[in-house]
Structure 1
Amino acid sequence: MRWLEVRRHAPTKKGTARGRGSHLSAHGVALARAVGAELGPFAFVVTSTSPRAIETAVAMGWAVDDTADMPSGYVPGEVEHHDQWGWPQPYVRYAELIAGGGELADVAAEHRNIWTETVRSVPDGMTALVVAHGGSIEPALVSCLPDADHASWGAPFSHLDGVRLDFEDGRFVSAQLHRAPSAASPRT
């Protein structure tokens, strides 16, 4: 058995301080340190190419082994920016959208492939870490476990929320969602 921990990036700076790539705020760094102290060890760490994802892994205490281009889960005409926050059962809605076979299904499959290759890169008995973005983690998670009880998964991912996936016999077999302590606004 292998495990994959997936976490949403930490809170970023706001307003003009935000900058290109949305760098982490001081609160984001502190929260990432607190969450990172409770996790690991990780045999391999992959983040999106965005500075906020890379900075999150480093602030959590983990060197980044690789970055990957991770497409946005916000697909015009299917899922607009932060739509998932208004859905009463976001994972059920993602499952419905993915079953429709549109561009979101392709995005979810691309993330599932990144996650699968990342967890396959670690030896049996070890864990890998992926740091990604809200709006893309949720559909990827549904894609990894299409037959799960999506209604039981609750809210979308806020900053530093995550999921630990069990990977066995070449596939994801179960997931445990974890919520981070007192993150800032979930939508930025």
Structure 2
Amino acid sequence: MKSLEVRRHSLTKQRTERERGSLLSTEGVRAARAVGEALPDCGYVLTGPDRRHVETAIAMGYAVDELVEWPSGYVEGVVDHHDQWRWDQPFVRYRALLHASPALRDVAETHLAHWRRALDQIREGEAALVISSGGSIEPVLVAAFASDELAGWGSALHQLDGPR
């Protein structure tokens, strides 16, 4: 059986520290390493356009096979930056927004197509790994599943969180 691991990037340096060297903090590298050691064998790694996505994959122990310039989940007039952290039930809210916003639906469908394509790159028994950002992963998950039990999905994704 094939599997897909989708993870939010790891912990990053703060403020001016980000201007030098890597974007991930030492704590972020260590956390990503620990998560990477617990992952199944990943035969294909796909990341978003942000350098912290690539650094997270490498810290997990994986070379990046493909970097994709996909659109942000923050859609002007629909979802502002980090809105998902202000919502009591972010996945329920994303369901409503996906129904109301063709622009957000387009973003989710674009990401989901890349996730599916990553699965096409691997053999049975392998996993594909996708590294992205919060605010981009959550609406794609909602678009991918027809579940009405979204209230039980919890909060927005923290660093290194994500579904299999």
TM range (shorter): over 0.9
Residue 118 of structure 2: aligned partner: 118
Partner amino acid, structure 2, of 1:160: L
Alpha-carbon contact 2:45-2:64 (below 8 Å) kept: yes
TM-score (norm 2): 0.94
Residue 34 of structure 2: aligned partner: 34
Structure 1 or 2: larger helix share?
A: 2
Structure 2, unpaired ranges of 5+: none
TM-score (norm 1): 0.83
The alignment partner of 1:45 has SS state of: strand
Q: Size of the alignment, in residue pairs?
A: 164
Residue 65 of structure 1: aligned partner: 65
Distance 1:46 1:15 in 2: 27
How far apart are residue 50 of structure 1 and its match?
1.4
Alpha-carbon contact 1:94-1:139 (below 8 Å) kept: yes
Alpha-carbon contact 2:48-2:68 (below 8 Å) kept: yes
Distance 2:19 2:2 in 1: 37
How far apart are residue 97 of structure 1 and its match?
0.5
How far apart are residue 99 of structure 1 and its match?
1.0
Distance 2:51 2:21 in 1: 5
How far apart are residue 150 of structure 1 and its match?
1.3
Structure 1, unpaired ranges of 5+: 165-188
Relative to 1, partners in 2 of residues 1:43 and 1:106: Cα closer, same or farther, differing over 3 Å? Answer: same
The alignment partner of 2:28 has SS state of: helix
Residue 98 of structure 1: aligned partner: 98
How far apart are residue 60 of structure 1 and its match?
0.5
Partner amino acid, structure 2, of 1:57: A
RMSD: 1.6
Which consecutive segments of 4 or more residues in structure 1 shift more than 3 A? none
Residues 51-72 of structure 1, C-alpha deviations (whole Å, 9 max, x = no match): 1000000001111111111211
Identity %: 49
Alpha-carbon contact 1:95-1:146 (below 8 Å) kept: no
Alpha-carbon contact 2:13-2:25 (below 8 Å) kept: yes
The alignment partner of 1:130 has SS state of: strand
How far apart are residue 21 of structure 1 and its match?
10
Distance 1:98 1:105 in 2: 5
Residue 175 of structure 1: aligned partner: none
Higher relative contact order (CA 8 A, sep 6+): 2
Residue 74 of structure 2: aligned partner: 74
